Structure 1
Amino acid sequence: MNLFSNSTFNVLERGLDGSKMRQHAISQNVANAGTPNYQAKTVSFKHTLNEVIGNQLQATKTNSKHVDFSSNRPGPAVQVNQNTTYNHNGNNVDIDLEMAELAKNQIYYNALIDRMNGRFQSLQTVIRGGN
């Protein structure tokens, strides 16, 4: 029996992984705000979370030619925004937007951590017998 294999932990873990990737992309954008021709990066992982949440369907393969339901799950994707240029040097980092995204990502990350802590506290209560 694996206590950490249920869908809630999987969703929280994927959310934390995506938030970590987004934090890294934002920090790279901020660090390169003055670098000529640097293109801002964004991380998209909402589709991954929606897939994990919606992937509650349990299926059985009846033929070896059928596609596996759990194979090739896409992870968070880093995208480079090449459609805009904000500065004369070819850089498209909007520092105000990056700071807003940083704050939003921090709030999201803290909410996931709080939820994960709640799950662990529930397990701890069960292990201690309700004390």
Structure 2
Amino acid sequence: SARNLMLSTNISNMETPDFKAHDINFEQQLQDVIKSSNQLQVRSTNSKHFGPSNEALKGLDPLPFELKDPSKSNGNNVNIDKEMGKLAENQIMYTAFIQLMMKRGSTIRSAVTELPQQ
């Protein structure tokens, strides 16, 4: 994931003079896109209609931002404890998401392949 790469870059540059740590707040950017796309109301007149498309999500590109943590004497602001914690949290979230998607795929596959009872 993009955030994993960003955090790994921060960690690998923890001793680089004047290096500034960056992060990605994908959740906030996703919420902003969802809020802006919810301004149009889609009305369903039949229970078999599909919901609105996710056209707004196609252009979502997580943007990095510089962390404002205090700098050390060499101008570097990487806090290894924070970065390692965020990296672990990111890995847990990624693994949980993958497991959820696998379960969802399994459920859909089961529903499609199950024979109707007679």
User: What TM-score do the two structures reach when normalised by structure 1?
Assistant: 0.65
Aligned residue type for 2:114: G
Name the CA shift for 1:110/1:35 in 2 (closer, same or farther; >3 Å).
Answer: same
Aligned residue type for 1:120: G
Structure showing greater radius of gyration is 2
Q: Distance in 1 between matches of 2:101 and 2:25?
A: 22
Map residues 22-101 of structure 1 onto 2, 5 A cutoff: 22-51=3-32, 55=37, 57-59=40-42, 70=56, 73-82=59-68, 84-85=70-71, 87-101=72-86
Shift of 1:119: 1.2
- Aligned-residue sequence identity (percent) comes to 32
For 1:37-58, what per-residue CA distance to the aligned partner results, in whole angstroms no more than 9, with x for missing partners? 0000110111233256554655
Q: Distance in 2 between matches of 1:120 and 1:71?
A: 21
For 1:1-50, what per-residue CA distance to the aligned partner results, in whole angstroms no more than 9, with x for missing partners? xxxxxxxxxxxxxxxxxxx1110110000110110100001101112332
Name the CA shift for 1:126/1:51 in 2 (closer, same or farther; >3 Å).
Answer: farther
Q: Distance in 1 between matches of 2:105 and 2:66?
A: 37
User: What TM-score do the two structures reach when normalised by structure 2?
Assistant: 0.71
State the partner residue of 1:117: 102
Unaligned stretches of 5+ in structure 1? Answer: 1-19, 61-68
Q: Distance in 2 between matches of 1:114 and 1:78?
A: 26
Unaligned stretches of 5+ in structure 2? Answer: 44-54
Q: Distance in 2 between matches of 1:37 and 1:117?
A: 42
Q: Distance in 1 between matches of 2:24 and 2:57?
A: 22
Q: Distance in 1 between matches of 2:33 and 2:103?
A: 20
How many residue pairs get matched?
Answer: 102
